[in-house]
Each structure stands twice: as C-alpha cells, then as structure tokens.
Structure 1
Amino acid sequence: MKKTLKLVLCFAILIGIQTGQAEPIFRTNHILSESFIHQPDTGFVDLKTYDSNFSYDFRYATTNNFLKEKVYDCVQCLLRKDVAEALVRVNEKLKAKGYRIRLYDCYRPKGVQRKMWKIKPDARYVANPNAKGSSHNRGGAVDLTLETLEGKVLDMGTDFDHFGKRAHSDNNTLPAQILKNRELLRKTMMSEGFRPIRTEWWHFYFENAKKYSISNFPFDCQ
C-alpha cells in the first residue's frame, strides 16, 4: 500500500509541474489513505483523516447546546469529499494569516434535525426536516468560527447557536473588530465556494450542496 501511495503522490506532483503548478492543490500533514484517494467526489469523508489542521468544538456531542442533550456519540466531521477539499483550501488561506477553523458541526443526521425542529420550529434558524431539510443533512454545510494558531477564539459577537439579531450576518451595528472578524471568515469561505446565510454568522453551505441527497446514517464511533 505504501508503494501505491508513493506512486500516486509522485504522479500528482508531476501533473502539477506539467501544468505550471509546483505542488498538488491540496496540502495536508497526512498522506491520504488509499480509500480516500479513490473516494468519489460525492462520497462522505472524515475530515480528520484528511487534514489535522482543524480545531473541534462539537457542541452536539455534549449537553452544551440548545437541545440540552448529547445527540452525537462522538466528534466526527463528515463531509462530501469536494466540500472537505474546499474547506481545506479555506483553512490553508487562513493559516497564512495566523488563523485556523474551529468547527462546531458538519454532517448532521436527519433524525437529529427532527429533534432540533421539535424544540425550535423556526426556519430562520433551524431547517424544516419535513420540507427540504438542511444542507447539514446532505454533508454540504459547516458551522464554524475562527481561532488563532495558538487556540484563542476570535470574538464574533455571539456564541454558536445564538438565536437572535445579534447573530445575523447582516447586522452592521456591532463593534468594528467583531465585524472585521466576521468579514474575514465570510470572505475566505466564499472564496472557495461556500455561501453564508443571513441569520447565522457561523453557518456556511457549499454552493452545490443541494445536489447531494439527504442522509440519516449514524456516526461510526470506533
């Protein structure tokens, strides 16, 4: 397997040289597993096996969330492969500026979406599972914030899952530094195909997320 991986990586580098690129597009601290390399673009991947340069604060794997209930059995950021690749590119850009992504949520089973809707049936903040569902259910959305490379979280004006106007991405009445932090997050995410929503500064969906089917499989916590 190691020999196969070396051949794949060498081939990628040769392609980059021939096309005027000095290195492969996606740089990580890991050699990609053979199963990941052969994963279709629309398949699910675990971000941790792709790149270790992310921070995690999965509230739904704890009771520190608006449900007041642990609904994830473990911390596992599952995304469609092309979404994960785009997120890695975003993180590389942020790291060059001294920051990195801190993740709150990625793929979310539809069953969890139903629980959320039962407690907060407000489509401004929770997607209706009985309608189109959430891009989270498709593996095409992320909830996240920024932190320094030393682990200090940037001030975005509210905590994650704050249901109110202060969390709205179009709220321009906040202090200048908060607006600057949000703008850095928004612009960098949008540069790689992610789109924000008006009511939650932390939520971004991938531009092609609707092409993925809704899923409800549980996390594989091993």
Structure 2
Amino acid sequence: MRKLVAVAVGVLAIAMTPATALAAPGPKAPPEFVALSDVDPTIVQEMRYFTPHDFVGERIDGYRRPMCILTRDSAEALHKAQMSFLRKGLTLKVYDCYRPQRAVDHFVRWAEDLSDQRMKAEFYPQVDKNRLFDDGYISAKSGHSRGSTLDVTLTRLPAIPTRPYHPGEPLKPCYGPQSARFPDNSIDMGTGYDCFDTLAHTLDPRIHGRQLKNRLLLKNGLEQAGFTNLPEEWWHYTLQSETFPTTYFDFPITRKSLTGRC
C-alpha cells in the first residue's frame, strides 16, 4: 500500500510541475547571429511566416516571435544598404530572414499534402501544387537556414503599416495589378511577395516601366552592399561572403535563442 501511495504522489508531482520546467531547452544561435533591430532599428520588419498570411495559411514552425535574425555580417551589410535608401526617402522592409530547418520541414509537409489548397488563389493560382518541388518553389533545404539570406522589398517613407490579413477573407492573385493584390505598403514590384509565378523572376521580360525600375533599384542597392539576387525571386538576396556557407541551423526565432548561448 505504501508503494502505491508513493507512486501516486510522484505522478501527482509530475502533473503539477509547470510545462516550461519539463520542456527541453531549444538550440541556441552561435554568437555570429544577431537581431536585425539591434544593428539597424530603422529597417521595417513584416515577418510573414509569423502570421497566417503566407502560402501555407498558418504560422510556420519555429517562428515564435516576429523578428528578423541574421548573421552579423549580413545585418551590417543590410544596414549599409539602408543608409543609401534612406537618402532617397525609402526604407528596406524584410519579410523573412533566418529560417529554422523546422520551418523548411513544415513547408515540405504542406507541399506533400495536395488536399490543402487554402491559399492557392493568392500565392500559386496558376501552378499545380504537385509541381511545387519540380518547379523549385519548395525544397528540403533553404539558404535562409544558413543565416545570410533574406526576403526584402522597399517602402516609401513614412512607412504606413500594412493591414493584417484576416483568415478566410477573399484571396486575390499575387500577379495582378498592385491595386488588385492584397494591400502592401511596399513600392510596386510587379507581384506580391512569395508569388509562385514566373512573373516574379527578377528580370522577367513582361516586367517593365516603373515595376522594372523598382526591382532594379532594390537589386542595385543591395548588390552594392555585397548581396546577390536569386533570379527566380525579385525579393530573395544572399550575402556573397556568407558567414556559414554550408551550415544549416534549426534554433527557433526568439530573443532567447540569442541569449544564454552554450
């Protein structure tokens, strides 16, 4: 009988222990990583994967805070570019920065579930979901996980925040005219962010006039600061001299990942 009582007390003690005390600590970022806001607080951050307004339709695994984390080298290079844009009455705005591997895994699981098409009408209206891997829109690895890649655009100053997306609201194609797309405070780049369409290719010949000028403005400014563009995505840039060119990280996006490092 005493053994049964002892077991019952032990089980009760475990049940009453706060969940946070039982949770294993997440991996920490190496000291080369920083919060972008600590290097340049003037760069606007609209971290899409922390919200349901993305091609999956929900917050992505690993995005515990709406913050941009980058390697210090990348953050300082982005600050350099920002200084030149501010003189033109513009500001950089980041949609995504470091992306943990668990987030990439989330994308892969979603892409394999062909029944989940809730965001198709906005982000991939002309692409069959079963083509996302073959066409290169989804991959098991992402340069974002190395910490020197970011998704970025330009916004005129003063930057009025973009209104939030409300799940279930009508979706509009990402490749439509700017006035017909989901509202975004960035200058017109010809498509919305994360548009799975060839029109999002940086130098697509159908892009001309003001839209092309805006893409080249972003491209030239970032290249002068040491970044290179992915030709298939006008918003995607990587620091040429990556701090971790072959290492993929999986620490969650939270301030705690940058403190108390092992």
The answer, yes or no, to whether TM exceeds 0.5 is yes
Residue 181 of structure 1 is matched in structure 2 by 214
Whole-angstrom CA distance in 1 between matches of 2:39 and 2:68: 11
Q: Which runs of 4+ in 1 moved over 3 A?
A: none
Aligned match of 2:253: 219
Per the TM alignment, residue 123 of structure 1 is displaced from its structure 2 partner at its CA by 5.7
Aligned position for 2:133: 121
Deviation at 1:211, TM superposition (A): 2.4
1:160 matched to 2:160: no
User: What amino acid is the match of 1:218?
Assistant: P
In the alignment, structure 1 residue 98 sits paired with structure 2 residue 110: no
What CA distance in whole angstroms lies between the structure 2 residues aligned with 1:43 and 1:155? 34
Contact 1:155/1:181 (CA < 8 Å) preserved in 2? yes
Q: Residue type matched to 2:254 in 1?
A: D
| Structure 2 partner of 1:26 | none
Match of 2:55 among 54, 66, 89: 66
The separation in 2 between residues aligned to 1:166 and 1:145, in whole angstroms, is 16
TM-score computed with the length of structure 2 as normaliser: 0.64
Tell me how far 1:205 sits from its aligned partner: 0.8
Partner of 2:102: 111
1:98 Cα deviation from its structure 2 partner:
1.1
> Residues 193 and 172 of structure 1: is their aligned pair in 2 closer, same or farther, counting only changes over 3 Å?
same
Aligned counterparts of 1:122 and 1:145: Cα–Cα separation in 2? 27
8 Å contact kept, 1:125–1:199: no
Aligned residue for 1:211, secondary structure, equals coil
Paired residue for 1:49? 38
Q: Distance in 1 between matches of 2:38 and 2:135?
A: 33
CA distance in 2 between counterparts of 1:90 and 1:213 reads: 25
Partner Cα distance (1:122, 1:93) in 2: 38
Q: In the alignment, residue 214 of structure 2 is paired with which amino acid?
A: N
Q: CA deviation at 1:172?
A: 2.3
Aligned to 1:145: 153
Question: 1:192, CA displacement in angstroms?
Answer: 1.1
Q: Aligned-residue CA RMSD in angstroms? A: 1.8
Output the CA distance in 1 between the equivalents of 2:204 and 2:238: 20
Cα separation, partners in 2 of 1:122 and 1:93, compared to 1, 3 Å: farther
- Equivalent-residue separation in structure 2 for 1:200 and 1:214 (angstroms): 21
Percent identity between matched residues is 33
Q: Deviations over 1:84-128 (max 9, x none)?
A: 1000001111111111101100000001111213314246323x3
2:99 counterpart letter in structure 1: R
Q: Which has the higher contact order (CA 8 A, sep 6+)?
A: 2
Q: Which residue of 1 aligns with 2:78?
A: 87
Whole-angstrom CA distance in 2 between matches of 1:211 and 1:166: 29
1:134-153 per-residue CA deviation (whole Å, 9 max, x = no partner) reads 22001010101100111142
Q: Is the 8 A contact 1:63 1:69 kept in 2?
A: yes
Residue 74 of structure 1 deviates from its aligned partner by 1.5
Superposition deviation, residue 221 in structure 1 = 4.9
Provide the aligned length of Structure 1 versus Structure 2: 178
Larger-Rg structure: 2
Of 202, 212, 216, the residue aligned with 1:169 is: 202
TM-score normalised per structure 1: 0.75
